[in-house]
Structure 1
Amino acid sequence: MLTSSLLKPITLKTRLVTEEMSFTAVSTDTRTITAGALFVPLIGERFNGHDYVLTAIQNGAVAALWEEGQPLPKELPSEFQLFMVKDTLYALQEMASAYRKKVNPKVIGITGSNGKTTTKDILASILSVKGETYKTQGNFNNHIGLPLTILGMPSTCEYLILEMGMSGFGEIERLSMIAEPDMALVTNIGESHMEQLGSRAGIAKAKMEIKEGLLAKGSLFVDSDEPLLRTWNDPCIVKVGFKEADLLIDHVTATETGYEFAIGNESYSLSMLGKHNVKNAAYCIAVAKNFGLSVEQIKKGLASLSLTSMRLERLTGNHGELIVNDAYNASPTSMIAAIEAIKMIPNYQKRVLVLGDMFELGSNEEALHKSVANVITEPITHIMTLGDRAKWIYEAILERKHESFQKVTHIETKQEAANHLKELVDNETVVLFKASRGMKLEEVITIYQDTKERGND
């Protein structure tokens, strides 16, 4: 349990002189405050959390950090404890760092353009076989979310898995310094945040900042199949991939539910779509072995895998069709990987792609969208694009006149997409939904499933 003793290094003075306090939780959002929590009011461009301290108290907060110079509400209860600090965000981060040291779990940091959440889920499933494991919840992977994740782990935690996201240089380094990972992963390098970082090389440099907080005897696992990572050489770096790797993945065979593969003389099964997820699993196997898990324990963890929704999520439609919901987010790298996954699933006559816009690709976004068309080949049979940017994919497919799909359509609305799907799908169909989060492409699934149900009344 978090106690006020962790605040001593950052406390300049307190409103009250009291005995040590214990807190049930730490929150920056009054909507998630629980009884006995510590409230941390942050200051942003359009908000000031200090304005909501009375709401935090009403919802159960028993104490708060308070930034020097911020006015105190006249209605503040006299018994409510404040810890005065120079900067509440910095204080939150330092509290997390102190709590990480106090609990002292094995910490694994995960970054990369794509696959962070899936890799986190795989690793959590494996490590939980051996000990109590806590992982990043939702998208709490930035300069605020990561400290809150650390502060949210139980005091009995043995393995802490932290996603690390970023939009610019220096951010991953700061997160890594807070977390001090025993092991770290860079899953891949994509195109997200190209606007801020300028190039894929810039993205690779930013992601590799995770090395800065790595503990002295720690290991950093990276993608050996990515040229921008293959050139990094450091005693801590272990390269994982399908070729020229320190940890080589081979004998990869697609099944209807996932893959069989081998690492050295050990064979594994993964009930997940997408060959790229075999690599994500290999990272996790490498970490688990470094922590002393046996092959049997690793296989048990893989067999009990439970994934966060909308990441190549398999659903069964009303007509027996396989729906692959990968609509949580998208970049050209992840969209191409998802399309390749659909192509490799055996035993389906119709393979349908429903593709939407990808955001944050910078000035080269048209070419990057069009690059996706290069992998849309047989056995894909039907393509639907939805959105102004996704129309570039549609146009690029039409330019390749030698390709003969049954149908390529650009759709204007989600309802129109649902109507097309209603007429198309049967029990020999697999449908992929893929787009950036802002498109909310999963709504098409809801619409066309409901549409079919109404049509069957």
Structure 2
Amino acid sequence: MTTVEELHKRFLEYPLVSTDSRKIEADCIFFALKGPNFDGNTFAREALEKGAAFVVIDNPDYHWEGKTLLVKDVLTALQELARYHRHYCNARVIALTGSNGKTTTKELIYSVLSGKYRTIATKGNLNNHIGVPLTLLSIQADTEFAIIEMGANHQKEIAFLSNIAEPDFGYITNFGKAHLEGFGGVEGVIKGKSELYDFLTANNKHAFLNADDPIQVEKLSGYVRKIGFSQTDPQYFNIRFLRADPFVWLEIEDTVIKTQLIGEYNFSNCCVALLIGKYFNVPLESMKEGIENYVPENNRSQVLHHKHFKIIMDAYNANPSSMKVALEQFGKMKEDPKIAFLGDMFELGEDAEREHQQIAELAASLNLEEVFLVGENFYRTQTELQKFPSFDSLSSHLKTSPLSSGTLLIKGSRGMALERLLEVL
């Protein structure tokens, strides 16, 4: 069996990892992972023929002399290699989790720290038991900071990922109504996400916190190694919210920062990036530049101009917490007319009916010209709003009754893929 030390030696020679036989790069190490419908071992020869330097396998039947590295379990080997490499390098690791805003916050922290330090961060949302190891393996000898995003939809997942990344610092964006089915309700979400703070406190590591969030304050009560931001508490780093019209404006040390992020809910995401930058002595002007230059993408609160429409495209994902704040912010906007397209929120289990009904009632109470509800859950709500059981039925309606202009909010869970509305509009 190949030991982690031997595996790491090979990795240093060939520091490129692949887990997809369709995307083999020359001189990479291919990890033959298993999935519900495939066995990566069966692609070992194909990966080598495509140029892989080595293949890590856990089935000796696929041995190729001098080219395969046999381990007990490929996934475990990938995770152990990542943890080994994380300690081999000198980068300080900052871990990040939470119900909403993880990716935006990660990008903001990266934007601030990279103004002074050699920094890497999770690409996209590779934040699970495979993505976290792959991010750790992208740390290079000169990397000074690694920002690791961690996602979860069940208890113990954040604890597991924390034990792989072993972060020096960590932050939880918030505790919201996300993945209620897997976590077992809101209390389960709080418990599951707090596993990051549990790891930090148990290992005497530093915790960043939003000191205006009572749950975070309670979770870190009595813990000494915490660094926080607040709008009011003088014992923490003070940052002032100015306005969101719709872009967030804030003030730090008499310096005004105008972001390109929509909604007051993004204020705390900016704050922790500034807090971390301040803690690591990034100059204020550099931090201001990093925050102001960050533009969201990939359907996360993007502002688009499409034909005669101004569009707030927030269709990457949704849960009751993020849907509520997005709607409330949209309702405050002075644009006219305002039209909302809201897609089903997934993974809510027995809470699905109640949560969709509450969102429908909130949407109906706001000053919106029109609201279109899309998906089976929204279709079952008791409401006078326009509702459609599927995207196709909504699309058919819009083709026969097209919209002429307006400001649109488009938000729904990933599975709804509401960005398809751009084609329909």
Scaled by the length of structure 2, what TM-score is found? 0.90
Q: For 1:436, which of 394, 407, 413 is the aligned residue?
A: 413
Q: Secondary structure at the match of 1:389?
A: helix
Rounded to whole Å, the distance in 1 between the matches of 2:130 and 2:191 is: 22
Shift in Å, 1:177: 2.0
Letter in 2 for 1:364: D
**1:179-194 correspondence runs (5 A):** 179-194=165-180
Letter in 1 for 2:277: A
Rounded to whole Å, the distance in 2 between the matches of 1:200 and 1:33 is: 41
* Cα distance change of structure 1 residues 367 and 263 upon mapping to structure 2, 3 Å threshold: farther
Shift in Å, 1:182: 2.5
Query: 413-422 or 100-109, which moves further after superposition?
Result: 413-422
Shift in Å, 1:23: 1.0
* Cα distance change of structure 1 residues 349 and 371 upon mapping to structure 2, 3 Å threshold: same
Q: Kindly indicate whether residue 403 of structure 2 is the aligned counterpart of residue 424 of structure 1.
A: yes
> Is the contact between residue 189 and residue 226 of structure 1 (CA under 8 Å) also seen in structure 2?
no
Shift in Å, 1:281: 0.6
Q: For 2:38, which of 36, 40, 47 is the aligned residue?
A: 47
Letter in 2 for 1:431: L
Q: How many residues are aligned here?
A: 417
Q: Deviations over 1:398-424 (max 9, x none)?
A: 3xxxxxxxxx31134535545538733
Q: Kindly indicate whether residue 354 of structure 2 is the aligned counterpart of residue 361 of structure 1.
A: no
Rounded to whole Å, the distance in 2 between the matches of 1:223 and 1:64 is: 44
Q: Which residue of 2 aligns with 1:336?
A: 324
Runs of 5+ unmatched residues, structure 2: none
**1:39-438 correspondence runs (5 A):** 39-67=30-58, 70-73=59-62, 77-80=64-67, 82-214=68-200, 218-232=205-219, 233=221, 234-240=223-229, 246-256=236-246, 258-263=247-252, 265-319=254-308, 321-346=309-334, 348-376=335-363, 377-392=365-380, 395-396=382-383, 398=384, 408-414=385-391, 417-418=394-395, 420=398, 423-426=402-405, 429-438=406-415
Shift in Å, 1:248: 4.7
Q: Secondary structure at the match of 2:341?
A: strand
Q: Deviations over 1:316-367 (max 9, x none)?
A: 0111x21111001100111112112322333x11111100100001101111
Letter in 1 for 2:90: N
Q: For 2:4, which of 3, 7, 20 is the aligned residue?
A: 7
Scaled by the length of structure 1, what TM-score is found? 0.84
Rounded to whole Å, the distance in 2 between the matches of 1:139 and 1:53 is: 27
Rounded to whole Å, the distance in 2 between the matches of 1:242 and 1:389 is: 38
Rounded to whole Å, the distance in 2 between the matches of 1:19 and 1:420 is: 56
Aligned identity (percent) is: 31
Rounded to whole Å, the distance in 1 between the matches of 2:347 and 2:92 is: 34
Q: Secondary structure at the match of 1:152?
A: coil
Rounded to whole Å, the distance in 2 between the matches of 1:132 and 1:306 is: 20
CA RMSD, aligned part only?
2.7
> Is the contact between residue 204 and residue 229 of structure 1 (CA under 8 Å) also seen in structure 2?
no
> Is the contact between residue 60 and residue 70 of structure 2 (CA under 8 Å) also seen in structure 1?
no
Shift in Å, 1:247: 4.3
Rounded to whole Å, the distance in 1 between the matches of 2:3 and 2:341 is: 50
Rounded to whole Å, the distance in 1 between the matches of 2:55 and 2:70 is: 9
Runs of 5+ unmatched residues, structure 1: 12-17, 399-407, 449-457
Shift in Å, 1:299: 0.2
> Is the contact between residue 415 and residue 444 of structure 1 (CA under 8 Å) also seen in structure 2?
no
> Is the contact between residue 330 and residue 434 of structure 1 (CA under 8 Å) also seen in structure 2?
yes
Q: Which residue of 2 aligns with 1:447?
A: 424
Shift in Å, 1:224: 4.3
Letter in 1 for 2:374: L
Q: Secondary structure at the match of 1:126?
A: helix
> Is the contact between residue 179 and residue 213 of structure 1 (CA under 8 Å) also seen in structure 2?
no
Q: Deviations over 1:207-263 (max 9, x none)?
A: 11113443966432334454443421122344545566844543421235x121224
Q: Secondary structure at the match of 2:56?
A: strand
Letter in 1 for 2:323: M
Rounded to whole Å, the distance in 2 between the matches of 1:86 and 1:326 is: 42
Q: Deviations over 1:168-189 (max 9, x none)?
A: 2221112112212232111111
Q: Deviations over 1:365-404 (max 9, x none)?
A: 11111222454334322111111112355x24x3xxxxxx
Rounded to whole Å, the distance in 2 between the matches of 1:19 and 1:417 is: 53
Rounded to whole Å, the distance in 2 between the matches of 1:263 and 1:20 is: 43
Query: 275-284 or 128-137, which moves further after superposition?
Result: 128-137
Rounded to whole Å, the distance in 1 between the matches of 2:10 and 2:111 is: 40
* Cα distance change of structure 1 residues 415 and 318 upon mapping to structure 2, 3 Å threshold: farther
